Structure 1
Amino acid sequence: MTGVEFPSPDTVLQAYLQFEALTDHQYKYSCPSCGNHPPVVILGVHKQSASHLSENDIEEPPENFEGEVNLEKFWETLSKEIICLGFAANGEHNPFAVPPNYQFWAPWIGKNTRQSDTVLNTEFEKVRTSKSASEILEMTVTEDRLREELFKQKDDVIRSLCNECGVDSTGSRSDLLLRLASEMKSSQIYDQIYAKIWSCSGGWGVIMCPCGIVYSLKCNLRAESPRDFADLLLSWQHMPNVIIYDFAQGLATHTNLRAPEKVPISPFEGLLAEPTQANIELAKHGQLKVSLPWLDEKMGMTDPHGHPVTGSSDHYVLHKSNTTDSRDVLRKLSLVPQLDGKVNSEVAEQLFAKMKKNNYFLSLSSMHMFLMRNIIHHYNENKADKVSTRLTKSSGSNLLKDVYGQATLENPGGTRSTDDVIEDSILTSLMVVSSA
């Protein structure tokens, strides 16, 4: 109506990102209820925002590269790239540009959650010609995942795949799926389906707490595998006691192969009970329960190297879906009374559903990395504010933080010990979040 035109959308987006890059964000990536070291986490991958990078687009790492990257240096350089865009003319070289490469590509993990600024990124191992036992396992697991992803595709994608793979494309959806699943035994057909569905890039991997706050964020250069989450978890200061992941067996085996001297995932390779035939049969018929009381109340006598919140040194990898491995019935969430019906294992899917509206510009943006971390940062802050508000209203008291970053109640009367206040407030936090 005024005749004044806005700048182009690209200019507005660039200006906004420069503002964000110049802002002193802390990027805490931590939940006020779960603290800096959540004992229970959910893993997920947002593949819709994957970029299609070929192997030739990614620079090979030097021979002496061992998969360690300085996280702070990487993200600082990325921020400088955004800021410098305002000073580099169109087409002019940006001295801070960060091209996709294996040796200088880092995830984001909250400062108080990670072990140090040096984190792991061993994606270069995915493309090595000679594969170890762990890599062979990853490929097998990924094939199972690929079959599940195939069954989620739309009809036109499935019919198109049949035509591309030389499979009869007539008949119902079920007919087409059965034919493709059968033909996947052929390595050639498998490769075609893999390239079509899984994409060259693995999208974004996230580790979240049950409250829905993201603790770790990683842009995978290659198709996602258990290796990516092992990199993240092994970069944490304290590995969670319970890890919920669709392909639990692959993650447990790979992580233990990565650190055989300490076997991070134990007992029973992350199963809830010894995989005897008797236990498997009891679990199948719903007659087995495995109590983990330290999820509700910290152990009185903590284990050596136990988790700071629970005191336990046990690490389980559980799942919420069915698998072909009979032993995986011992990984079901429903076997644990402290988790059954009390943990929202769909928080990752719910986040990705919200992120879908960003896919159209995230996939095309050269500022994809910085933008994604910033979007998740604001999502986390908004989510954390809501959790803190609920806790404050339910308790009628101000909140403080304990040494582990968990919300605690302020002690106005001074008649109770700090330990009592911390214990009660943690229980209150868990109850409020669970009910919400």
Structure 2
Amino acid sequence: MGYCHFEALTVTDYIYACVNCGYHPPVVIMDLHKKGVFSMSVSDLKEPPPEFRGEVDIEDFWKSVNLEMIGRGFVPSRTKNPFAVQPSYSRWAPWIGHKTRMDHTVLNTEFAKVATAKVTSAEAQMMNVSEDRLVDELMKQKVGVVRKLCKACNIDSKGSCMDLISRLRAEMQNRQSYDKMFQKIWGASGGWSVILCPHGVVYSIKFNLRAESPRDFAHLLLSWKHIPNVSIYDFARGLATHGNLRVPTDIPFHPHEGRLAEPTPESISSAKQGKLKVSLPWLFEKTDNSSSKGHPITGSSEHYVLYDKLHESNTKDPQDVLRRISLVPELQGWLNSQIAEQFFASLRKNNYFLNNMAPSTHIFIMRNIVHHKNTSTNQKLLEVQLQRGHRPHGLENITLSDLGQAILAQQASDRETVQHHPHQLNQKDFENCGPQCEVFTKCENIAACRVSWTLGSHPAQKELLNYILDIERPGNELIVRTANTVLTRADFWTLGLNRDMESTIGNSCFQLIESIAQSKGKNIYIVDLYVVPTWLPPNNCDPFLSLPDDAHLKDALVIPVWTPGHYQLCVRIHTAFE
């Protein structure tokens, strides 16, 4: 209670935006957190007034929630709080950052989920989604739970689990029975509908009053100033259908109703065989043919709805094969379509105390938790950005562009011209060992130019090299000690003489290459030479277990592969939104 009161009195800018993707991410991942619910009596939800069209004032709603939290500090209980906010179809609003949403008016038509009027076949298909998902949850329950639920609904509780579920599904046509099952299995409310960018930053969160359906995500996106070019969802077809039905005069998901290609028999067959590839180059570089309706980052006005990889094979519609992420080369290798599931897993420890809170407290605390989670994620992303300069940078060097993307501010020293750059020196300057040698061999001064690779050795360097490679001296003599490696003369023999290179010194060389790349503003990862052979028979280890957790944030992944006579460097360049 005290924390809520404190937070409500604190001025907090719930910006809900990623420092890499900006205020308007071109690619988003959407999912539902079913475990995030609050206790609520369905019968208390009254139908909205006849003139209500599904538009709510987001600023007014969250100000009223703030006012309730402040008021609790002056009353003995919530029931006596004159500012208490109750769940309502006509006022309940999601949270979308003010830089991302169109204005203070957002969409929320959850009252339509319980409408009894006749609807079109496309709409009916989506209304059935809630029942299908509830059945999925019933399938996960133990037989005893399902049997008790049958008794509560006055249904025959004898028979197998599948028999009981079949009877319950038939009984779902009765709204009262449906509400009873939903409250028992799912929880009173419908969970959190969340939209994230590929980096795991939450942009929108909606606290559903009823069971989730594609309309929840469609209305979140339609409340944005710029709809993402690629939206990833576990029921992509339903999302595209509802979005286009909602705005038939200016359909949001196009071309091909959000599919990657026209659903012809040829394209469907080609996609099933893995031969169809649909390139979206504007995901990496803004198109020159930007239209007035184009996305501010990509310039494209195309909007696709794709399935996440976990659910892409669950659909029965053959045309949905054209909604697969694997068809887009620009989305391969870096996009984690399960980032939402990972986000929910990180919040699992909060479910118990959140689910026992009153609805208004639940959403107030949850918005605050997500804000701090976003801040932590952005901090990590900024640290990666700071490692990409030629010299150390600090947070004071970070600024945001007009689109909300983090950029490094140019320092005065960066604008100055270096009068005596090492690459401007000639061979005569290196006849004797001195400070110029140290400067020339610094990581930031090594470049892909002739001077770096053709410079000869002066006598002192030759003498040192001959000493290290002298085969008459002890091979176990310590030559170099680094933070995590000890190199002996025998190690250097494998590098400098005509012998097979030992992997220990090979890894040390690659560490130096990583340092050079970092000094050039590139954050790369090179796989350990000892690890790569374990991927092959007979070990057949999983290569992904050898990669760091932040592999998707690296500029490049380098895999050294040995073939008879030499190494090959397999490089996977990462060019995601940065």
Normalising by structure 2, what TM-score?
A: 0.65
Q: Cα distance, 1:141 vs. partner?
A: 3.2
Higher relative contact order (Cα pairs below 8 Å, separated by 6+ residues):
1
Secondary structure of 1:84's aligned partner: helix
The aligned length equals 407
Secondary structure of 1:41's aligned partner: strand
8 Å contact kept, 1:67–1:103: yes
Distance 1:96 1:428, change over 3 A: farther
Give the corresponding residue for 2:337. 345
Which moves more between the two structures, 153-162 or 16-25? 153-162
Within the alignment, does 1:241 sit opposite 2:247 as a pair? no
Q: Which residue, 19, 22, 30 being the options, matches 2:9? A: 22
What aligned pairs does 1:312-351 form with structure 2 within 5 A after superposition? 312-320=300-308, 321=311, 322=313, 323-351=315-343
Within the alignment, does 1:262 sit opposite 2:267 as a pair? no
Give the corresponding residue for 1:409. 408
Q: Cα distance, 1:159 vs. partner?
A: 6.9
Q: Cα distance, 1:409 vs. partner?
A: 2.2
8 Å contact kept, 2:214–2:239: yes
8 Å contact kept, 1:108–1:218: yes
Q: Who wins on radius of gyration, i.e. which is larger?
A: 2
What aligned pairs does 1:79-90 form with structure 2 within 5 A after superposition? 79-90=66-77
Give the corresponding residue for 1:8. none
Secondary structure of 2:374's aligned partner: helix
Q: Partner letter of residue 378 of structure 1?
A: H
Which moves more between the two structures, 404-413 or 286-295? 404-413
Give the corresponding residue for 2:508. none
Distance in 1, Cα, partners of 2:134 & 2:77? 41
What aligned pairs does 1:115-126 form with structure 2 within 5 A after superposition? 115-126=102-113
Within the alignment, does 1:42 sit opposite 2:36 as a pair? no
Distance in 1, Cα, partners of 2:49 & 2:63? 22
Q: Partner letter of residue 403 of structure 2?
A: Y
Within the alignment, does 1:309 sit opposite 2:334 as a pair? no
8 Å contact kept, 1:52–1:200: yes
Secondary structure of 1:244's aligned partner: strand
Which moves more between the two structures, 280-289 or 213-222? 280-289
Q: Partner letter of residue 374 of structure 1?
A: N
Secondary structure of 1:86's aligned partner: helix
Q: Which residue, 105, 112, 117 being the options, matches 1:130? A: 117
Distance in 2, Cα, partners of 1:105 & 1:127? 16
Q: Cα distance, 1:166 vs. partner?
A: 4.3
Q: Partner letter of residue 329 of structure 2?
A: P
Could you tell me which runs of 5 or more consecutive residues in structure 2 were left unpaired when the two chains were aligned. 418-520, 526-549, 555-578
Secondary structure of 2:113's aligned partner: helix
Distance 1:273 1:348, change over 3 A: same
Q: Cα distance, 1:340 vs. partner?
A: 2.2
8 Å contact kept, 2:68–2:84: yes
Q: Cα distance, 1:327 vs. partner?
A: 1.0
Q: Cα distance, 1:341 vs. partner?
A: 2.9
Could you tell me which runs of 5 or more consecutive residues in structure 1 were left unpaired when the two chains were aligned. 1-13, 171-175, 417-426
Distance 1:21 1:219, change over 3 A: same
What aligned pairs does 1:277-288 form with structure 2 within 5 A after superposition? 277-288=265-276
Within the alignment, does 1:31 sit opposite 2:21 as a pair? no
Distance in 2, Cα, partners of 1:182 & 1:91? 42
Normalising by structure 1, what TM-score?
A: 0.85
Q: Cα distance, 1:332 vs. partner?
A: 0.8
Distance in 2, Cα, partners of 1:148 & 1:92? 37
Give the corresponding residue for 1:372. 366
8 Å contact kept, 2:113–2:127: no
Q: Cα distance, 1:16 vs. partner?
A: 1.2
Distance 1:344 1:92, change over 3 A: closer
Give the corresponding residue for 2:448. none
Within the alignment, does 1:186 sit opposite 2:175 as a pair? no
8 Å contact kept, 1:51–1:363: yes
What RMSD over aligned residues (CA atoms) do the two structures have, in Å? 2.8
% of aligned pairs identical?
50
Secondary structure of 2:63's aligned partner: helix
Give the corresponding residue for 1:215. 203
8 Å contact kept, 1:203–1:223: yes
Give the corresponding residue for 2:552. 434
